[in-house]
Structure 1
Amino acid sequence: MEVNDYHVSPTELQQLEKRGYNQDLLPKDETKRNMDAKNYFTLWMGSIHNIPNYTAVGGFLFLGLSPLNVMLALIISAVVVAGFMTVNGVVGSRFGIPFAMHLRSTYGNVGAKLPGFLRGCVAAIAWFGLQNYTGSLALLILIGKIWPGFLELGGDTMILGISIPGLIAFTAFWLLNVAIGFGGGNILNKFTAILTPLIYIVFGGMAIWAFTVAGGMGPILSYDTVGVTRSIHPLFGYLMVINSVLAVWAAPGASVSDFTQNAKSTKQQAVGQTLGLVIGYAIFAIFSVVILIGGSIHYDIQEWNVLNIIDRWDNFPAIILAMAVFLLTTISTNATGNIIPAAYQLTALFPKKINYKKGVLIASIISFVIMPWKLMENADSIFIFLNTIGAVLGPVAGVMLTHYFFVNKQQIDLDKLYMDPTKNNKNNQYHGINRQAYIATIVALLLSLSGQFISSLKMISDISWLVGFAAASIIYLGLQKFSTKTND
């Protein structure tokens, strides 16, 4: 059944506003839906080239997959992610509603609080802190190149597990990210439009350098990774890569309506996101493998931290430029995927007390207090973090998509969704808790997390997002059919 985009009228918007909803939660009218395919194309392309993504590629090479297979797995992953982002963004682009209201349409006005908290407060704030820390490592190297004595400040003194130079770099980078967060989507659109071309110029240059010093593509594709300890079937290796990439996008993918609510049309966001993610990841797949392996061949040391490769260069201007671009890409990723969704969700959880800017401030403070440098104390930390995020948000995504397309048949009643708190809403379909959705989410969540605690189920944790998504979808559909038969 074809469903056309719905644009709320000024009269409807005034009625909804009178019910006490702030501007951040109200559906966007036609005047505010100004993002076209070009905006969505550039929105995510810059977010792909960040430090944790490069670190993850180094981990993929340790799975036993060949460099070519890693590239192919990344491209396939991009197609899957693009499909997920586009399809889950349909609700926002068709009705102009943000993620918080998308959740309400699935879980109910009370039920939406838990999945909203998981995405907006747990995943987003943790990711915001982690991205700030990885970005601060690049800033630390950058400052150290300009002012070597900075790295000696405080000697061996550690504060809360981090050196004084490290803490200064983290705080400075954190403040910069907070400032971008306050600017919101409008600042971000201008920021990404300038940044995206710069990203591909710089990283293209890095790839050409690595290709040259490695002696061409032959040595790179035939590179034998030392230290591979896991023997896995190549097909499962592909699934692990796909799952990890999905986990990277699990948080922005779940709340993508916060961005697609501003789309001029569903077609615009679908075309823009698909092309941006697939083309962006295809380029990233080649660049990342070539840079990491080419650098390892050149320096005769297996080095999967792209920052360490850059730090070994003897060209000072090139180091400054590359580090600066990494800092900018981290800011772009942090804004789109973390701080903006976190602020929106805090607004949704406490609409009478918190607006968008207060949400940014609260989320930012929490991200500092949790000491994200502790999340990166060993080499496996990033993968444990990704698998946990995937396990938490995969079930939520599964229920959201299943509910909208198969249960609601792509229909949403905005008048009922934005219920009047002064009236009796007990018979409102969006009131209270959608119990079937809750049961499916919790059961799938426990299943996808089981591999973290039961060694015999370790395989599940390696594909936690996929397991959680599939399990939640199947369980929810089953409960819906059972409920319908019981009512009959």
Structure 2
Amino acid sequence: MAVNVENNEDLARYNQDIAPTTQEQRQWSLYNYLSLWIGMAHNIPTYLMAGGFIVLGLNWWEAILTVFVGNMIVLVPILLNAHPGTKYGIPFPVLARASFGVVGAGIPAFLRALVGAGWFGIETAIGGQAIQTFLLMIIPGWAHFSDVFSFVGMNLGGWISFLLFWLMNVWIIYHGIQAVRRFEAWAGPLVLLLGIGLLIWALNAAHGFGPLLQRPATVHGTAFWAVEIPALTSVVGFWATLSLNIPDFTRFAKSQQAQEWGQAIGLPLTMTIFSGIGVLVTSATIVVFHHAISDPITLLGHFHNVVILIIALGAVVVATLSVNVAANIVSPAYDLIQLFPKHLNFARGGLITGILGIVMVPWLLISNPHIYIFTWLDVYSGFLGPIAAILIADYWVFRRRTLEVIQLYEASGQYYYKNGYNPLAIWALAAGILVSLIGKVVPPLVWLFNYSWFVGFAVSFGVYLVLMNAKYHNPTPSREMPSSHLSH
């Protein structure tokens, strides 16, 4: 559904990279969405997640079940926000204009971009570690050369490896969104083969899957729920980012069925399988090495066959590159375009995301696994849950799936609200963030923080609908709200 820009000087927030997709651009099939999720879900943080839950006291099947349930929950907002992307061909920052205002959409876009840049930096640090491990194994003297100086907590070898992986990401993004589609189509299955290979090794080396499967849970009753709820919130928070910006991908879908079935199969199934692989392989390392090795890059460092090591580390690099490009560059690039539509395009937005990922010194963040996996996920869940709620409440309940597309790009009309901002959406967002995160600083309310995504979602969803219906007195806004003479 293309926007006719001829003789329309009112399209102040228009940019070709965030324009509605044409029929020719809609090439993504069910397989593309399936491989997209395989590529994004099969990554190092997924591998580590279930192992982290076991450290907290869950047994192996409780940890894997938590991953499955959490992904089934987050699949709901993902599919709900995916629908307008396919129906109207618009990305997340443009969809957000319907509820936050043509200019005000910059608020959720900026918050999403910051989280995406943080994740980009984290995944780039992980990919850099894999390259560093590879260089240490194949280049004599690399350890001595790379340790000559340290800057901001990382030595020269670490910086070289980090920047090499950083450049790989930027190279792909500079070739456009269709390059992402082509890369994900073959990268996803390759990553799955790596996981299966590790699983076969674990079964043979340990003559089974080790003692971890016989280990009982160490938390029960009230103590169990004190662990389970934050863990479940962390799983939901893991893909809370994609629950917002999934329209960035579904705008290229051939049909609603293609994206719905591709995602419904791809997300929960692949996340659960790869988390299970992480638990089983970690259990086997106890037998083989007499201590648990939960980091697959560290585990690969124990292999002495150079050919196997090269193949395995190459797969780790591809795995990390796969999730980083799709989940952590594409969407922040679109988000930044929302802020500066006249000056940024897709490639420039991706480059800025990459620079922000360096500035956020992610290698220091992942040096503490507890902060990395739990505090990081739960805190930003308190920001992103409310945004998802407002988008869903506006599109599915308030507007009943009806948008006037061209007005999403205009400096007038029903989505311009007050100077481009919808104050009611901003109030609803602030209420959700406040209630979801207050437990982080007020100990008696810590239970609210443990449910941060759920609490923030519920509060913002209710507040937004109450305020909007009170002001416009009608759940079908086109009858009450100011409207332009233009339509899609």
- The two structures have a TM-score, normalised by structure 2, of 0.90
Q: Residues 430 and 314 (structure 1 numbering): CA distance in 2 closer, same or farther, change over 3 Å? A: farther
- Confirm or deny that 1:207 pairs with 2:220: no
Whether 1:169 and 2:161 are equivalent positions in the alignment is yes
Q: Distance between the aligned counterparts of 1:13 and 1:43, measured in 2?
A: 32
Is contact 1:214–1:220 with CA below 8 Å preserved after alignment?
Answer: no
Q: What's the counterpart of residue 5 of structure 1?
A: none
Alignment of 1:10-21 (within 5 A): 12=4, 14=6, 19=11, 21=14
Question: Residue 448 of structure 1 aligns with which residue?
Answer: 436
Distance across 2 between alignment mates of 1:373 and 1:48: 21
Work out whether 1:304 is the aligned partner of 2:276.
Answer: no
Q: Distance in 2 between matches of 1:16 and 1:172?
A: 44
* 8 A Cα contact 1:104 1:430, kept in partner: no
Q: Work out the CA distance in 2 between the residues paired with 1:157 and 1:9.
A: 54
- Which letter maps to 2:125? Y
The residue aligned with 2:483 is none
Q: Could you list the per-position Cα deviations for residues 334-370 of structure 1 after superposition, in whole angstroms to 9, with x for gaps in the alignment?
A: 1111111111111121011111222122222222223
Identify which of 368, 385, 388 aligns with 1:397. 388
Show CA shifts across 1:71-130 (max 9, x none). Answer: 12212222223222222111101111111110101211122111111002x111111111
SS in 2 for 1:183: coil
SS of the aligned residue for 2:420 comes to coil
Measured against aligned partners, the alpha-carbon deviations of 1:45-89 in whole angstroms (never above 9, x if no partner) come to: 111121222222221112211101111221222222322222211
2-structure distance, mates of 1:196, 1:444 = 35
Cα shift at 1:14: 5.0
Residues 470 and 152 from structure 1, CA distance in 2 versus in 1: closer, same or farther, beyond 3 angstroms?
Answer: farther
**Structure 1: 5+ residue stretches without partners:** 1-7
Count how many residue pairs are aligned between Structure 1 and Structure 2. 474
Q: Report matched runs for 1:330-349 at 5 Å.
A: 330-349=320-339
> Helix, strand or coil: the match of 2:18?
coil
In structure 2, what is the equivalent of residue 462 of structure 1? Answer: 450
Q: Report the residue type matching 1:193 in the other structure.
A: A
Conservation of the 8 A alpha-carbon contact between 2:47 and 2:278: yes
Residue 16 and residue 181 in structure 1: after superposition, are their counterparts in 2 closer, same or farther (change >3 A)? farther
Q: Which residue of 1 aligns with 2:486?
A: none
* 2:105–2:338 CA contact under 8 A, matched in 1: no
Deviation, 1:481, is 4.2
Q: 1:143 aligns with which of 116, 121, 135?
A: 135
Runs of 5+ consecutive residues of structure 2 not aligned to the other structure: 481-488
Deviations 1:278-300, CA, capped at 9 Å, x for gaps: 22123213212111222233211
Give the counterpart letter for 1:102 in structure 2.
L
- Residues 319-344 of structure 1: per-residue CA shift (max 9 Å, x gap): 22222111111111111111111111
Q: 1:86 to 1:199 in 2, by over 3 A?
A: same
CA contact (8 A) 1:188 1:335 kept: yes
Structure 2 matches for 1:19-98, cutoff 5 A?
Answer: 19=11, 21-98=14-91
Q: Does 1:253 align with 2:253?
A: no
Quick one: percent identity of the two aligned structures?
30
Q: 1:467 to 1:156 in 2, by over 3 A?
A: farther
Q: Which amino acid aligns with 1:445?
A: I
Q: Quick check: 2:46–2:271 contact (8 Å CA) kept in 1?
A: no
Q: Assess, with a 3 A threshold, how the Cα gap between structure 1 residues 267 and 41 changes in structure 2: closer, same or farther.
A: same
* 1:119-138 equivalences in 2 (<5 Å): 119-120=112-113, 122-138=114-130
- Structure 1 letter corresponding to 2:171: A
Q: Which residue of 2 aligns with 1:275?
A: 265
Query: In 2, distance between residues paired with 1:389 and 1:82?
Result: 18
Q: CA deviation at 1:277?
A: 1.0
The letter of the residue matching 1:461 is: F
CA distance in 2, matches of 1:402, 1:426: 17
The alignment's C-alpha RMSD in Å is 2.6
Deviation at 1:16, TM superposition (A): 6.7
Alpha-carbon distance in structure 2 between the residues aligned to 1:410 and 1:465: 24
Specify the alignment match of 2:279 in structure 1: 289
Question: Do residues 241 (structure 1) and 234 (structure 2) align?
Answer: no
CA offset at residue 394 of structure 1? 1.1
Match of 1:381 in 2: 371
Indicate how the Cα distance of structure 1 residues 239 and 86 shifts in structure 2: closer, same or farther if over 3 A, else same: same
What whole-Å deviation, never above 9, does each CA across 1:16-46 have from its counterpart, x for those lacking one? 7983522112111211111111111111111
Residues in 1 aligned to 2:146 and 2:221: alpha-carbon distance in whole angstroms: 45
**1:3 equivalent in structure 2:** none
Q: Which amino acid aligns with 1:129?
A: G
8 Å CA contact 2:50–2:64 kept in 1: the answer is: no
- Alignment of 1:413 with 2:401, yes or no, is no
Query: Which shifted more, 241-250 or 330-339?
Result: 241-250
Query: Could you say if the C-alpha distance between residues 162 and 102 of structure 1 is closer, same or farther in structure 2, counting changes exceeding 3 Å?
Result: same
Secondary structure of the residue that 1:89 maps to in structure 2? helix
Select between 253-262 and 376-385 the one with higher mean Cα deviation. 376-385
Inter-partner Cα distance in structure 1 for 2:343 and 2:84: 27
Q: Is the 8 A contact 1:136 1:170 kept in 2?
A: yes
Whole-Å separation in 2 of the counterparts to 1:116 and 1:147: 43
CA 427–40 in structure 1, closer or farther in 2 if over 3 Å, else same? closer
- Equivalence for 2:214: 222
In the alignment, is the contact (CA less than 8 A) between 1:13 and 1:27 conserved in 2? no
Match of 1:158 among 150, 154, 163: 150
List per-residue Cα deviations over 1:197-239 (Å, max 9, x = no partner).
22222210101222333332573421358xx799854455443
Cα deviation for residue 249 of structure 1 reads 1.0
Q: How far, CA to CA, are the matches of 1:296 and 1:17 in structure 2?
A: 67
| Structure 1 ranges of 4+ moved more than 6 A | 15-18, 228-231, 485-488
- Which stretch of structure 1 is more off in the superposition, 372-381 or 184-193? 372-381
TM-score normalised to structure 1 length: 0.90
CA distance, structure 2, for counterparts of residue 285 and residue 213 of structure 1 = 20
Question: Secondary structure of the residue that 2:426 maps to in structure 1?
Answer: helix
1:327 matched to 2:303: no
Residue 307 of structure 1 and its aligned partner are, at CA, apart by 1.7
Q: Which moved more, 1:39-48 or 1:467-476?
A: 467-476
